[in-house]
Amino acid sequence: MASLLQALAHGTRWVWLAMLVCVSVCPWPSRCEECVRYDDQYQQGACKCRLSSDPKLGLDLTPLRNMFSTPKEGLEDNVYVWGPCGDVLNFGGDCTAQARAAACQGPTFGKPPTWNSLGIESSAVFTVNLTGTDLVTTITYSNGTEGRTSEFKLICNEDSNGTFDFVGEHPTKHYNFIVTSRDVCLVAVPTTGGNGGGGLSAGSIILILVISLAVVYLVAGGLYQKLARGATGWEIVPNRDMWMTVPELVTDGMAFILSPCRAPFKGRGKMSYENL
């Protein structure tokens, strides 16, 4: 009886692997696209991305921290941990905070504590597969212990609190997982910030400051002219006489730049040398 159950379990594993292969090829009429990673002021890592076709939508995997996959009897003797933000616990080996491992493989209790990294968070590549109303996101990691890599299929399910299952190792040193959770569904994300955009540029900030100062100057100066000097009409404009000469000064400046040796200054007669 035990042998039969184990055979069935092995068969289930191969069914899952076949499903993963089918999903990976993104058959028509599916729509696959890259989800571009970005950092923000709160989290640097590989747990957030924006859709390349619609930067207002993306994934935020911040709630998924240190998910554990328990061993399946007769199939697997290891424990797996996934921390998409690169914050897996300090298990030792290649799975430490300094190593920034996104996924780790470790022994069950009572075995020697040997932990292997299945890929670092900075190597993450996101691909989103939209098929009708279904959403499946694939994240791949590389540069793990002795060349280990891993692949995570994230299945959006609004009714799931989160499940994390190890599917199998295929090919060798490539580990496949399935995560089902409401936290892997598309959400609204900021369209600027991080490596997806730096917010306001220096030029924009300077322009805003100049406009703000101009408004303060006009309002405060106008109130002073009105209340302190009793000005009316155009006289309310602060430093009105100075601003009235600006067009003439600009004209003289342009004339000097374009023909400095020939053009006289307006209203000041011809340019000449003083007699000795």
Pairing of strands 174-181, 163-169: antiparallel
Give the residue, 46 or 203, on which the prediction is more confident: 203
Angle, CA 85 vertex, CA 164 and CA 190 arms, to 5° = 110
Peptide bond into 190 cis (omega under 30): no
32-82 confidence digits (pLDDT tens): 788 888 765 545 557 788 888 888 888 888 887 777 776 665 556 788 888
Lowest mean pLDDT among 224-238, 240-254, 261-275: 261-275
The whole-number pLDDT of residue 211 equals 93
Q: Name all domains of the chain by residue range, CATH numbers in brackets.
A: 2-196 (2.70.130.10), 202-258 (no CATH)
Number of C-beta neighbours around residue 16 at 10 A: 18
Which pLDDT band holds residue 208 (cuts at 50, 70, 90)?
very high
Contact 52, 33 (CB under 8 A): yes
Task: Tell which residue, 167, 212, 209, 162, has the closest CA to residue 184.
Answer: 162
pLDDT at residue number 75: 54
